[in-house]
Amino acid sequence: MPRYAHIIGWGKYVPPNILTNEALAKTVDTTDEWIRERTGIAQRHIASSKESTAMMAVHAAREAIEVADVNPSDIDLVIVATATPEYMFPATACLVQDALGASRAGAFDLEAGCSGFMYALATATGMIRGGMYNTILVIGAETLSRIIDWNDRATCVLFGDGAGAVVVRGSDEPGGVLASILGSDGSGGELLIVPGGGSKHPTGPDTVLSKMHTIKMSGREVYRFATRVMASASRQVAEQAGWSLDKIDLFIPHQANVRIIDSAAKALKLPPEKVFVNLDRYGNTSAASIPLALCEAIDAGKIKPGDHLVMVGFGAGLTWAACAVQWSTAKPGALAPPRAAVSRLRYLWSGIKSIVARALRHVDAAVSKLIDIFERKPPEE
Ligand code: COA
């Protein structure tokens, strides 16, 4: 019996703090008109000092888990797609796994730039369809505001922060993620890069002074690459799913630039009502952009069971990726108050368990040290 991978839960988080084009134009040489005309962006959400990638990922994941109506301990694997992890290591996914109390789950981060969420969804689908796992939490989360050069008008107007998550579950019922394609062209790696802070240019005063820890981008070349791959990847994935292009009910592209989206939609002959766009409010949130758009499309009633969706991303690497999804999950009603309370209690309990586990680790280390001291033989005379 073939296995299928269905998206059964979804959730999102964006920081409440909004940075409008007008506000940005007060700090850097740009205008609202230029940004809207060239990109379609009107505002973006920016994380406060209390918000970070793991925190936003956890919020989005909790929402997705509630919609899916699964217990965190049912989750087999947590994948966090991000280019702005909490730390170099440990993986952000491990922090999320702990905060959720997903005690049985493995966890890892996946870095494929703005294609990250599509790569992660394809990975989860493969693992479920192959029978390795049954329930996988896939998250795209970014705090891009931390790696932006706020004096570079060519990049700082483009990006925003946020997170989106889905729960993917195995079933014998046909549908769900039916096809995926992944692509890479590393020869274009330098076109969109954060050059500092890795093994090639480790962080030091020189990398910081030359702002090598911030995004460097060749906008025009990335634009040309994006318009090329968006349409071709979407065509390929639809073909792999056995769909003609007119079968697509909703096209959910990576939200980077409305002109790139329009050009892909035109090449695919998709009318505007079949193309989901929300980048005017969020800017480019990299790996979070597609799950954020998916959540908003569901909230707006644009997706119903049986619909054929194509989601496509492109980004640093250079990478691109697409998935064809036959949607199968009805939008659930709000969680009943007792269930919501149980859920809050469960997260509180996992928080307490995590603190206790940390404390016990310290006690264990201290006791082991004491035993070592007592067992140490006195020096021979
Ligand atoms: N405000 C005002 N002027 C700006 C500006 C800004 N924020 N940013 C750039 N400009 C200026 C440039 O300096 C240039 O001036 P010049 O002609 O005097 O040299 C002019 O606008 C045109 O610049 P250009 O880079 O050719 O603009 P563009 O039409 O290509 O738009 C991007 C720039 C970045 C919006 C566009 O190239 C793009 O979206 N590229 C893809 C980026 C992307 O998606 N990255 C993420 C991938 S996941």
**Judgement on whether residues 226 and 87 belong to the same structural domain of the protein:** yes
User: Does 125 map to a domain?
Assistant: yes
Query: What pLDDT, on the 0 to 100 scale, is given for residue 240?
Result: 98
DSSP letter for 330, please. P
Beta carbon of 15 within 6 Å of any ligand 1 atom: no
**Ordered strands of the 308-315 beta sheet:** 176-184, 319-326, 308-315, 250-253
Beta carbon of 157 within 6 Å of any ligand 1 atom: yes
Instruction: Read off the CATH number of the domain in which 312 is found.
Output: 3.40.47.10
pLDDT in tens, 285-308: 999 999 999 999 999 999 999 999
Q: Give how many domains the chain has, as a whole number.
A: 2
CA distance 21 to 23: 5
**How many C-beta atoms lie closer than 10 Å to residue 244's C-beta?**
8
Which residue's CA is minimally distant from atom 26 of ligand 1? 220
Number of residues in the chain: 381
Average pLDDT over the chain reads 95
Q: Divide the 381 residues of the chain into consecutive groups of 10 and give the mean pLDDT of each group.
A: 94 98 96 97 98 98 95 97 98 97 97 98 98 98 98 97 98 97 97 97 96 97 96 98 97 98 97 98 98 97 96 98 95 74 86 90 90 79 61
Beta carbon of 114 within 6 Å of any ligand 1 atom: yes
**Judgement on whether residues 320 and 342 belong to the same structural domain of the protein:** no
Report residue 79 as tokens.
Answer: 């994948």
Q: Percentage of the chain surpassing pLDDT 70?
A: 98
Residue 269 belongs to what H/E stretch?
A: none
Report residue 109 as tokens.
Answer: 């981060």
Helix (H), strand (E), coil (C) string for 197-213: CCCCCCCCHHHHHCCCC
- In three-state secondary structure terms, 107 is strand
* Residue ranges making up the domain that contains 343: 337-381
**Judgement on whether residues 344 and 300 belong to the same structural domain of the protein:** no
Beta carbon of 319 within 6 Å of any ligand 1 atom: no
Whether the pTM exceeds 0.85: the reply is yes
Beta carbon of 224 within 6 Å of any ligand 1 atom: no
In single-letter form, the type of residue at position 376 comes to R
Under 8 Å between Cβ of 44 and 283: yes
**Judgement on whether residues 169 and 311 belong to the same structural domain of the protein:** yes
User: Does 331 map to a domain?
Assistant: no
User: Does 120 map to a domain?
Assistant: yes
- Is 114 one of the catalytic residues? yes
**Judgement on whether residues 219 and 343 belong to the same structural domain of the protein:** no
Instruction: Pick the atom of ligand 1 nearest to 154's CA.
Output: 8
Q: Please list, in sequence order, all residues whose beta carbon lies within 8 angstroms of the beta carbon of residue 225, skipping any fewer than 6 positions away.
A: 185, 188, 191, 314, 318
pLDDT in tens, 55-101: 999 999 999 999 999 999 999 999 999 999 999 999 999 999 999 99
**Judgement on whether residues 259 and 376 belong to the same structural domain of the protein:** no
Per annotation, catalytic residue among 45, 59, 254, 308? 254
Per annotation, catalytic residue among 21, 59, 94, 114? 114
In single-letter form, the type of residue at position 329 comes to T
- Is 284 one of the catalytic residues? yes
